[in-house]
Amino acid sequence: MRKLTGLCAVVLAAVPATAFAEVSDTGNVAIDGRVASICILGDPSSATVDLGQMAATSGSRAGRIDTLAAQTVNLPGSFCNFAGSAVTVDAVALVSNDASPLQAGFARAVNFTARATGWATGDAAATTAALGDGTGASASGTGTTQPLPKIADIGVTLSEFTVPGDSLLVAGSYSGTVVVTLGPATVAD
């Protein structure tokens, strides 16, 4: 037992000497990183809006635009990770692919309003104003600036379907587009 006690005393005596003999130092390493400014639109709840038969098929409005219900497409989880963003809506009227000469009293264009809501206090809206022959079919509108980074569900509603001069619609397929852009707000010069 004396041997063990003597050994412990030697070991304990050596520990403090080792601790005092060590020298330490510190250094700083700077760490940098970046996060790019990005905006992402959520996947649309529907990639295509099918309005179906747009003209009334009977009654006093037969051949003219029928009452079409508003259609909404949602873009859930849309976000911008920076301040100063806005939504822009670019719309092109529904125009018939029929290129034959347009007869008096007929139209080959259906105008509408596209409105994007849910991003800033002022909505982005565009109302097309195509002529009966389908020319001048484009419109654009930008909402107010979102002053903070934001994540939100953006709703795009298509409504107020009209035909120039309430003319009869030419038979055939019609197509139009709505492009929603989420990005930096433009600054006027």
Mean pLDDT along residues 154-172: 98
pLDDT band at 7 (very low <50, low <70, confident <90, very high): very low
Strand partners, 154: 75
pLDDT at 100 over 50: yes
Q: What is the CA radius of gyration of the chain?
A: 34
pLDDT at 45 over 70: yes
pLDDT at 57 over 90: yes
DSSP track, 62-113 = BTSBP----EEEEEEEEEESSSSEEEEEEEEEEEES--SPPPTTEE-EEEEE
In the chain, domain spans: 39-184
Question: One-letter amino acid identity for 117?
Answer: T
pLDDT for 8 equals 47
**CB 151, CB 77: distance < 8 Å:** yes
Which residues have CB under 8 Å from 110's CB, separation 6+? 54, 65, 93, 94, 95, 161, 162, 163, 169, 174, 176
| Fold classification of 39-184 (topology level) | Jelly Rolls (2.60.120)
Q: Who wins on pLDDT, 114 or 98? A: 114
pLDDT for 99 equals 85
The C-alpha atoms of residue 36 and residue 5 are separated, in whole angstroms, by: 66
